Amino acid sequence: MRTEDEAGPGAPGRHAGAGTGSPGRPADVGSGTSAGAPAGTAADRLRGTRLAGQVQFLTARARSRGTGHANALLRRELELKVSHFSVLSLAASGVDPTQRELSEFLDLDPSQVVTLVDALEGRGLVERRTDPRDRRSRIIVATPEGRRVERRGNALTEASDREVLARLSHAERDVLRDLLTRIAF
């Protein structure tokens, strides 16, 4: 599994609106403020840094905000985390994924998928079944209770998306989804 540190910042880039420094370098890097800007909060000062303009950092930060918000809703109402819900959602999709397919699609180590499936199976939300395509493999299928929980979880994650993306118009959300899909797949 890749950690957020491994997916961290790439080569330095220029942050739009980062002052009047040379190309690729915001004004007054290292001083904590942009030229002529008031001190402000630490977060305000840090937004002018190179890091704040790097795509890897921005996607990691956006992921953290979105996942944190969704985790709070899912934990409160369903006692699930986003990682569990992701497996449950795919198990309820009708695609009948194997554990290996879940691991590859979710970009998780196979041992992590086993742990997630074990937890969901322990709650009666999924079952392991023999794969009719390859009897040596096991598919993960949602139980009727798992499908009910997955429907509620979908409503919660959609509500979380709306709240986290509230600053964006519907058209901007569609563009964001399209761009992220192109990057992810």
Determine the pLDDT at residue 86: 98
Question: What is the SS3 assignment for 6?
Answer: coil
User: For residues 164 and 151, what is the distance between their CA atoms, to the nearest angstrom?
Assistant: 20
| Comparison of pLDDT for 176 and 39, the residue scoring more | 176
Sequence spans of domains, the chain: 13-53, 55-184
| Residue 140, beta-bridge partner list | 128
Kindly report, residue by residue over 39-98, the tens digit of the pLDDT.
Answer: 689 888 999 999 999 999 999 999 999 999 999 999 999 999 999 999 999 999 999 999
- Provide the CA 106 distance to its chain's centre, in angstroms: 10
The CATH topology of domain 55-184 is Arc Repressor Mutant, subunit A (1.10.10)
